[in-house]
């Protein structure tokens, strides 16, 4: 099983399929750091780049790269996606065209629902 070390020095062994989403910076703080979602209930910060992390856990082809409303990339585990839909009125900022759901996690992206579905299915999704 793979493991990761947080920037705080905590080592976590995990199942690679548990990784739901990755970003290359923390949207809340603006900190440039790889953020790992899905391994624990919280967001894990690691020093390893998104690309290196995905290669190391042999999941590069399983993650679709989409775009957050601020223009930054977000990598989503395609097989973990349960739905893609248009945003509800006033749910997100105007730049969001689709909402991707992974268990209790929702991520707004700039791609349309059709574009997002194509990207997700192209990386192993089943929508």
Q: pLDDT tens across 50-94, in order? A: 999 999 999 999 999 999 999 999 999 999 999 999 999 999 999
- Of 118, 76, 122, nearest to 101 (Cα)? 76
Domain map (residue ranges) of the chain? 3-121
List all residues 6 or more positions away from 24 whose beta carbon is below 8 Å from its beta carbon: 32, 33, 34, 35, 49, 50, 72, 73
6-39 pLDDT, tens per residue?
Answer: 999 999 999 999 999 999 999 889 999 999 999 9
């Amino acid at each position: 099983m793979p493991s990761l070390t947080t920037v705080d020095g905590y080592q976590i062994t995990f199942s690679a399929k548990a990784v739901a989403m990755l970003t290359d910076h923390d949207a809340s703080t603006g900190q440039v750091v790889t953020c790992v979602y899905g391994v624990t209930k919280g967001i894990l910060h690691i020093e390893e780049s998104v690309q290196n992390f995905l290669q190391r856990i042999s999941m590069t082809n399983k993650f679709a790269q989409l775009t957050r409303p601020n223009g930054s990339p977000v990598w989503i585990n395609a097989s973990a996606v349960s739905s893609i839909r248009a945003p509800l009125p006033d749910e997100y900022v105007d730049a969001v065209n689709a909402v991707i759901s992974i268990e209790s996690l929702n991520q707004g992206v700039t791609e349309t629902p059709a574009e997002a579905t194509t990207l997700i299915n192209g990386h192993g999704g089943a929508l």
